[in-house]
Structure 1
Amino acid sequence: MAESSAAAVAAAGTAAPTVLDELLEITAQSLVRTEVAEHYEVIRELGRGKYGHVMLVTHRQRGTPMALKLLPKASTKLHTFLYEYCVALSLATHPAIIGMFGIAIESSQYYGFLYEPALHKDLISIIKPRDGIPEPAAKQCAKQLVSALEFIHSRGLVYRDVKPENVLLFDPECRRIKLTDFGLTRPKGTKLKLVAGVIPYTAPELSNTADAQGVPIDTSLDAWAFGVLLFCLLTGYFPWEQSLPDDPFFEDFMLWQETGLDEDLPRHWKRLTAEAALMLRSLLALDPAKRGPVGGALRYVDRPWRLEDGRGEEAAAKP
């Protein structure tokens, strides 16, 4: 079922909403009703979030290690669970997106689905405060995330949840990473209202929206969040707490975006080379219509991104 379902959505392109509805209906009818302990042995917890938790399990008969995401039925609507599962299943063919086993279950207390386990945790676990991660690893991440996001966008979807916690590691050097967690993914053009507080990854067009009908989403939202993530990888901290004018760090950034002058570059951006600053200035354009696509980052992966004790300055200045 996993391969045929994924192929169906992949072929749909911009018809993703219709195909997802069909996949939701099929999955709801074929949901396996069982208790976890009947078929799986729980080894340990891999992660826990606001809406559920992930366990490392092995299949009792085959011994296959798997990650089992469990969402409490008491706080999760069946449609919400099925939607996340079906979106993940439809995208799982990409090498930088988490692989799925095509198994969705319902127990007395939980909804759950199984996917490949990532035993090296997630990207947030290796970001050092005020330091980030090694530049080669940051570039490995960038290349793989661009590929994954472009794949999602080609299917008529906007991921909407780019952050280090959703990037799973399969080795400590980030040679192999995978995007996970598709609960917020929506078809392009879906009208979205800001329902939670503004966080660093929130694009300004959502932070400042007063439109009761919501803003039609597009891939520029992912470009913004991707830019914030890259900044975190290179510096070890957020560029701002909120993408609002009353945040002093964001206010400084807005000035630099307006002038483009070196003397207006915010102080905590000065570890970045001129190329890295240009890359982020494009991904983080305040006007979504002028924001560069995620793939624009690939133009800069062969140039230095971070100044280390002044050693990168000369290289950064070369044409």
Structure 2
Amino acid sequence: MNLNEKRWNENYLEEMLLLTSQNLPLVKVEDNYTIVKELGSGSYGHVLLAMNQSRGNLMALKFMQKNNTDLKVFLIEYCLSLCLSTHPCIIDTFGIAFQTERHYVFAQELAHDNLFSLMKPQAGVPENSVKRCAIQLSSALDYMHKKGLVHRDIKPENILIFDKECRQIKLTDFGLSCRSGTPLESMPENLPYTAPEMCRLGASDKLIAHTSLDTWSFGVLLFSTLTGYFPWTSALISDKHYVEYTKWQRSKRIFQVPSQWKMFSKEAIEMLTKLIVPDPAKRYPCTEVLKCLKVPWKVTLDNTKNTNSNVFKNKNLAWR
């Protein structure tokens, strides 16, 4: 990280947090916006499609409940989103933030849907579309990582799409984002995208945030979008698919390829296993995918049907 990036981290963001906290108006939503429909919801609150009554433009309003969201948490997510939105592969966040009696709210651009909507069980997403996603998402993550920031929640629901061919995608949801070097506590649940060092954390343990957390999630996301199933349910020794993968990794991949990896070309396996490395110190940066774009990532398997049990049977498995 150079001096300018460090200064951006330590000074610019803090100034934005202070100024925003001092200028967060109390607004009645119905006086300024016409709510069209709900776009999504979660433990944080919900996202609504709304039209600005004075300008007539549509936008996504993210509502975060005050009773379970600290003001500083809201401010960090909003200010990070606003700062990072200068990158073309990160969702555009408008300079609109306010509070209601029960919510903190900020506005973002409207997308067509998210990447999960394209993922078909046992089929995934067409390879060309996945490669387009890989190029754009690696660029967005590289941009964050060079600023010393870790996203920490890379999953298909947080990749917004603007067309079904993924010619334009954008990274969103910075609610868990933090500076690299921040002590982290364990999460309430482990997703297939969660790195093993996070999965192993006990209730009283701490882990220092590093960009390698995103690299692992990025690699698992590519695997899942290409195949239509998860490589494992969680990266723990209690998961047979994860144990099979780690044994294969430790053997320098001289043994038979695990069944859930057989549809990948040798070049794709080389790329993915550089990202999905159990040892975080040995993971390659996300931009490693750029070296593998001109070769096929999948091979045709004749008379072979994958019976992996980690297909997308339940969408909630990929939601937090």
TM over 0.5: yes
Q: Does 1:185 align with 2:177?
A: yes
State the alpha-carbon separation in 2 of the partners of residues 197 and 58 from structure 1.
Answer: 35
Unpaired segments of 5 or more residues in structure 1?
1-9, 311-319
State the alpha-carbon separation in 2 of the partners of residues 29 and 56 from structure 1.
Answer: 27
**Secondary structure, in 3 states, of the residue corresponding to 1:66?**
strand
1:284 alignment counterpart = 276
**1:199-222 deviation line (CA, Å, top 9, x unaligned):** 211111222235945121111110
**Secondary structure, in 3 states, of the residue corresponding to 1:183?**
coil
1:110 alignment counterpart = 103
Match of 1:256 among 240, 248, 257: 248
> How many residues are matched?
300
Amino acid at match of 1:207: C
How has the CA–CA distance of structure 1 residues 272 and 62 changed in structure 2, closer, same or farther, with 3 Å as cutoff? same
TM-score, scaled to structure 2 = 0.90
Alignment of 1:231-246 (within 5 A): 231-246=223-238
Q: Does 1:91 align with 2:84?
A: yes
* Identity between Structure 1 and Structure 2 (%): 45
Alignment of 1:58-207 (within 5 A): 58-118=51-111, 120-207=112-199
Amino acid at match of 1:256: W
**Secondary structure, in 3 states, of the residue corresponding to 1:265?**
coil
How has the CA–CA distance of structure 1 residues 17 and 240 changed in structure 2, closer, same or farther, with 3 Å as cutoff? farther
Please tell me whether the aligned partners of residues 91 and 172 of structure 2 are also in contact (alpha carbons under 8 angstroms).
yes
**Secondary structure, in 3 states, of the residue corresponding to 2:237?**
coil
1:3 alignment counterpart = none
The CA deviation at 1:197 is 2.2
Unpaired segments of 5 or more residues in structure 2?
303-320
The CA deviation at 1:262 is 5.0
The CA deviation at 1:265 is 1.8
**1:152-177 deviation line (CA, Å, top 9, x unaligned):** 11111011110000000111110000
1:302 alignment counterpart = 294
TM-score, scaled to structure 1 = 0.90
Runs of 4 or more consecutive aligned structure 1 residues displaced over 3 Å after TM superposition: 209-213
RMSD over aligned Cα atoms:
1.6
**1:240-280 deviation line (CA, Å, top 9, x unaligned):** 00101111000000011111335332101111111111111
Amino acid at match of 1:23: M
**1:55-99 deviation line (CA, Å, top 9, x unaligned):** 111111210111100111222111111111011011010000000
